[in-house]
Amino acid sequence: MGAFTMPSLGADMEAGTLIEWMIKPGDIVKRGDVVAVVETQKGAIEIECFEEGTVERLDAELGATLPVGATLATLRAQGEEATAFVETPAAPTPRTTRPEENAIPLTPAQPLEAAPAPPSRASEPISVAPRPGDTPPSSPAARIFAAERGIELSALRGSGPGGAVLLADVEAATPAPSQVASTKAAAKPGLDMAAMRIAIANAMARSKREIPHYYLTQTIDLQPATDWLTATNAKRTPGARLLMGALFVKATALAAAMISEMNGNYDAEGFHPVNAVHAGVAIALRGGGLIAPALHDAETLPLDDVMAKMRDLVARARTGRLRSSEMTDGTITISAMGDAGADAMAAVIYPPQVAIVGFGAPVRRPWIVGNTITPRTTVIVTLSADHRVSDGRRGAKFLAAIEAALQTPEAL
């Protein structure tokens, strides 16, 4: 028998709250399958399985707050026989009130109700109707969808484990379009800004306390990339057009693949370089705050794929449906101010990574081309790097590699 446990979704994560099961006893799971949804201050994160087997039983109750490493489910390896399981009353799991450090919330803060009785492990979970006035356990997607439609969760009969209300239950109860129109004034849930600022403060304070930062800044001629982007997008429909941010991510990923000291993680045992570049893309959340899910294997992706995956990450980050691997696999982070941002930014490294690259807003400046001064679009790029792993000479080579990549955008 094997165990599926509560994963760590950040260097300082201590616990998470189980809010939705995506599996049931008897299901066959494989590596990469989404098996549960866990809520932390980063929002609702889809947890992936890293083993193969058959679900023997679900060991954790919906609504329970469990520490990292706690058993969530028991898996039976291929060829193993099912074992008899006798239900024994479990001591109630104390709910933690200590905020997870180094985490940024994605979804509205929701009060957690008392956990429902655990589902029978000898049969399929049974839908349980909530008592009148009670708010049943529900998935984040169901809560958001219900709030937008003005639907009371307490009036629904959940089809999930323990009577949990799932998105499909809310969709089935959605009134006709004419009825929806009358509920437009329903309040939408808001982000817990206080918790978000505390999480950001904890993460960044830890970074500045433990990581000896050094900073290098370089102004890059962005005119070749700007001209190429304009010509390329002129032939495309709006939905297929590229943004400059995709070029920044790909150029940085290529540079990180060349300068290995910028790509990896640092822990108590020292620096661990990573061969693939999993680029953390800093995403601004509506209402404030940032989160940087990983875009896997960014150095190998064509620009169109980089753009498509960035759009997907932004959409899911803002609705709270990121995956655990996207929250933990990042090897370097890229943050861009956008067209209307500041000229430059010196970002703070996100532990356990060892580098972050900040792109200021593209600006027209006087630039010397040959013997002529001419207006050109430029961008100020700032590298924040860990001095335990690299020094200024390697950092300068890294910035030079980013510049070289942006001078030949057609090759990205």
What are residue 47's DSSP bridge partners? 36
- How many Å apart are CA 402 and CA 376, to the nearest integer? 18
What are residue 375's DSSP bridge partners? 366
Q: Per CATH, which fold does 2-181 belong to?
A: OB fold (Dihydrolipoamide Acetyltransferase, E2P) (2.40.50)
Query: ∠ CA(352), CA(355), CA(361), 5° rounding?
Result: 130
What are residue 366's DSSP bridge partners? 375
What number of other Cβ atoms are within 10 A of residue 265's Cβ? Answer: 19
- How many Å apart are CA 403 and CA 255, to the nearest integer? 9
Residues 6 or more apart from 42 whose CB is under 8 A from it?
A: 9, 10, 100, 103, 104, 105, 106, 199, 291, 322, 327
What is the amino acid identity at position 52? Answer: E
pLDDT for res 92: 44
CB-CB contact of 140 with 164 (8 Å)? no
CB-CB contact of 176 with 151 (8 Å)? no
My answer on whether omega of the bond before 352 falls inside 30° of 0, hence cis, is yes
CA nearest neighbour of 321 among 139, 168, 146, 190: 139
pLDDT for res 39: 79
- How many Å apart are CA 357 and CA 336, to the nearest integer? 8
Domain ranges for the chain: 2-181, 211-411
Global confidence as pTM: 0.68
- How many Å apart are CA 345 and CA 342, to the nearest integer? 7
> Pairing state of beta strands 363-369 and 372-386?
antiparallel
pLDDT for res 98: 40
CB-CB contact of 18 with 162 (8 Å)? no
Mean pLDDT by 10 residues, the chain (412 residues): 77 76 89 84 77 88 87 83 51 41 38 41 40 62 68 77 72 57 36 64 89 98 97 94 97 98 96 97 82 95 97 86 88 93 93 96 95 96 98 98 97 95
Q: Where do the DSSP E strands lie in 211-305? A: 213-221, 264-267, 270-273, 279-281, 283-284, 290-291, 294-295
pLDDT for res 117: 43
CB-CB contact of 359 with 335 (8 Å)? yes
CA nearest neighbour of 108 among 299, 275, 261, 319: 319
pLDDT for res 123: 38
What SS3 class is residue 105?
Answer: coil
Residues composing the chain: 412
Domains 2-181 and 211-411 share a fold: no
CA–CA distance from 282 to each of 198, 328, 338, 357 (Å)? Answer: 18, 14, 11, 10
The structural architecture, per CATH, of the domain 211-411 is 2-Layer Sandwich (3.30)
The alpha carbon of 294 is separated from its chain's Cα centroid by a whole number of angstroms, namely 7
> Exposure string (b/e) for 332-359, b if CB count within 10 Å is 16 or more?
bbbbbbeeeeeebbebbbbbbbbbbbbb
